[in-house]
Structure 1
C-alpha cells in the first residue's frame, strides 16, 4: 500500500505502489488479471518456463532476482524458488527442482543488470541452475555503503520508498510443496520493488560520491571465489572445544561423519536428525556399549534412536581406530587480537595504530568500518607487514590480500604511517640510552 494507505485501482489488495513510481510496477501495460494470476503462480514445467523466458526477454531495464532456499530444513543449499521481475514483463516464480537447468533465462537476460538484495547469499544456488549474471546491483551492499542504520530489505524499502514490506516468511521451509499462497505473495514482493529501490539508491550513491565505490564492490561480489571446503569439516561441531582427549575427538569425528552422510542422503539439515549437543555429549561420555549409548539422556534428536545402530557403529569406530586426530587442526588462522600483546607485541602495536587510523577514515567517509576494509586484511597486514613499510608496499600487500582499488587508495598511506609510528613507539628506551 502507498503511504497514504491507498492501493493502485487496477491492482489486487496485495499491490504496494511506490510513491516514486509513475505506474504500478508489477503490472506495467499487461492484462492486469493475467499478470496478477501469474505473479502468484509457481512455474514448474519446461513449457511454461520457456514461455516466461520469452516474456522476460521482451521486458525492459534491469532484472530483479531473488532465490529462496530451505536453510535449516534441508542439507543442500539449492534454490527451491527463484523470483524474477522485469518492467514491461512482470513477475515470475520458478520452481528450479521441477524445471532443471535455466540456461535459456540466463541467455535472455545476459546483457541486463541483475538486481539483488544481498547477492552473495544467492549467487551460489543460482549458478547451480545455470544463472550467472555478468553485472549486478546489490541493494543490501549499497545500503551499507550509504551507512543506513538498518540494511534488511524491509527496512531499506521502508526508508527509501516509504513502503512497509512484511518479512514474516523469510525463514520458511521453501522445499514445501505446494507453497502456500501467502508465501508466494511475499516472494513476489521481494523482487517487484527492487528496480524502484535500485533507482533511488543509485541517485543517493551518486550524491554521496560513492558510485565508483559501489561499482567496484558489486564487481567484487561477482568475482569472489567460493570458500574451499575445510580439510576437517567435523571440527565445525558446535561445542567441540569442550571435548578432551584424542580418543573422544575421534568419536566426535566419526559421529559427525555418520550424521553428515545420512543427512546428505536424505537431504535433511544434519541438526534436525541429531543436534550438535547430542554428538558432543556422546563423545565426552564415550559409551562402551550400544546400550550405554541408548541410555545416555543427552543423546537426543529425532533420529537418535531410529538410527541407533548407525550411531553406535560410529562410536565403536572412534573407540578402536588407530587414526586419532590431532588436538588442533593445522590452520593459518591468526590468533585473536586480544592475545597479540603477549604473542606478538609489535604486531599488536601496529594493529591498534592502524585500526584507529582506518576507523577515522571510515567515520569521515560515512562507511562502516568492515566495508571500508575487510578486518581480516588489516589483521594479516599488521601481523606480517612488508619488509620495508611505505605507502607503495602497503598498497601492494592490500591488493594481494584482495582489497579493492578504492580501498587501497583511501587506506594505504594512513596504514603505512600508522605502522611507522607504531615502530617508533616500540623503542623509546633506545633513544634515551643514546
Structure 2
C-alpha cells in the first residue's frame, strides 16, 4: 500500500466517511452518493429567494462550501451560470446568476467566513464578477500537499471519504434554461461533502506538519489581485508557432479580433464561430479571394457566403496594412530562455539547473508532495539563470521571495538549493 493509500484509508477510518446518514459499504468499496441529504434544493432566481438564502447563510455556522458552474466552450467569457453553497444550519442552495446577477449581499453576509472551494483559482474570477469574494478560504485541491496523487474533487471524495460522486455533467452547457434535474443533482452533490472533506484534510495536513504550509497557500490565493487582461491575446491562438511572417501575423490578428467581436455579440464561445486551426490556415495561405478561402480547412461547405465574405474582408484588411502597422514578432519573454538552449548559451547555468532540479526532486519525494507545490519550476529556472553573487542562505532566500515563493517554500528549499548551486560554482 502506498503512502497516499495509507493516508486515505486512515482518513476514512477517522472521519467516518462522509454524511452521517449514509452507511459505508461493508466491503470497504466506495459508495455511490446519489442524492443530496435534504434533496435537490430549488433554484433561486429572484430577489425574494435570494434574500431568504442570504438570511439563512448569515445565520449558519462554520465554513461555507462554494462552487460555480460555467458554460466554457458554449458561451462567450467565463461567467457563472450556477452558484452552489452549503453551510451548517443553512443546508444547500442553488442560485441562478442569470436571474440574480448581483450576489454582493450574499458575499457581504459571508464576509469573515472561511470559504471551501475545490480548485479555487478557477471559480474565483467568475464569483468576483457577481459580487462574491472570500476573505479566507480552504482549497481542497491543494490537498496535494498531503501527498495525494489525484486531487480532482471526485478522486479526493472517493479516496478520503469513501464516496463516489457522479461527474457526468461537468462539461455540459450550464447556460441551458431550465436546468435539467440530473444536472441540478450533480451540482448540489458537488458541495454536499466539501465541509467533510475540508475537515478530514485539515486533520491530515496537521498530522503531517503541513497545515501551516497549506494556510500560506490559501492566504496567497485569497489575497491575489485579479489577473490583468492579457496583452495581444490573439498571439495565444493555437498553432501560432507556425506563423512566422509579419503579414501572416496580421491576418491572425484581424481574424481573431473579428471572431471575438462576433462571439461577444452572439454570446457564444469564439471556437464555435471560427476555429483556431482555420485562422492559422488562412494566415499561412494568404488567400487571394473568397473562392481560395473556401478551399481551406475550416471554411468548407457548411459556411455560407456571408460568413466567407466577412472572413475574407478580415484577410484583405491585413493584406492592405502598410509595413509600419504590421505586428512585430512576439516580445521576448521575461526571464530565462527555454532550458533546452542552456547548454549552448550558458553551460554553467545548465549545470546549476540540473543540480537544482535533482535536489528539489529528492526533497519533494522526501516530503511526499508534488515538486510544483514545493517550488515552481519557473522559480528554480530564474534562480539558476541569474543566481545571487554570494551563494548564501540569506541571499538565496531573498531571491526566492522576490520570485513569489511562500515563506514555507523558502524555508524548505533554501538549504538544498544553496548546496546544489555551490557544488556547481
- Following superposition, the deviation at residue 99 of structure 1 comes to 0.5
Decide whether the 8 Å contact of 1:41 with 1:184 is kept in 2: no
Deviation at 1:316, TM superposition (A): 0.5
Matched with 2:379 is: 377
1:329: Cα distance to partner?
A: 3.0
SS at match of 2:98: helix
Give distance in 2, aligned partners of 1:150 and 1:248.
42
- CA RMSD between the two structures: 2.0
* 1:86-121 deviations in Å (ceiling 9; x for gaps): 112111000112112111111211121111111111
**Structure 2: runs of 5+ lacking an equivalent:** 1-14, 23-35
Q: Residue 394 of structure 2: which of 379, 382, 392 is its match?
A: 392
Judge conservation of contact 2:18–2:193 (CA < 8 Å) in 1.
no
Call closer, same or farther: CA 1:71–1:42 in 2, change over 3 Å: same
In the superposition, the TM-score normalised over structure 1's length comes to 0.87
CA contact (8 A) 2:118 2:140 kept: yes
| Equivalent pair of 1:74/1:268 in contact (CA under 8 Å) | yes
Count of residues paired in the alignment: 396
Matched residue, 2:12: none
Cα 1:23–1:399 shift into 2, 3 Å = same
Structure 2 CA distance for aligned equivalents of residues 419 and 300 of structure 1: 57
Given the superposition, is the C-alpha separation of residues 107 and 227 from structure 1 closer, same or farther in structure 2, using an over 3 Å criterion? closer
What are the Cα deviations for residues 9-46 of structure 1, in whole angstroms up to 9, with x where unaligned?
Answer: xxxxxxxx97454457xxxxxxxxx9946x34211001
Counterparts of 1:181-260 in structure 2, within 5 Å, are 181-260=181-260
Q: How far 1:244 moved relative to its partner?
A: 3.6
Secondary structure (helix, strand or coil) at the match of 1:99 reads coil
Cα shift at 1:231: 2.3
Go from structure 1 to structure 2 and tell me whether the alpha carbon gap of 1:248 and 1:154 turns closer, same or farther (over 3 Å shift): same
Question: Which structure 1 segments of 5+ residues have no match?
Answer: 1-16, 25-33, 424-434
Which segment drifts farther, 153-162 or 337-346? 337-346
CA distance in 1: counterparts of 2:280 and 2:18, whole angstroms: 54
Does the CA contact (< 8 Å) of 2:158 and 2:164 recur in 1? yes
Within a 5 Å distance, the mapping from 1:23-422 to structure 2 comes to 23=21, 36=38, 39-142=40-143, 144-300=144-300, 305-322=305-322, 323-332=325-334, 334-422=336-424
Q: How far is 1:83 from its partner?
A: 0.1
Distance 2:119 2:53 in 1: 25
Instruction: Pick closer, same or farther for the CA change 1:375–1:226 going to 2, 3 Å.
Output: farther
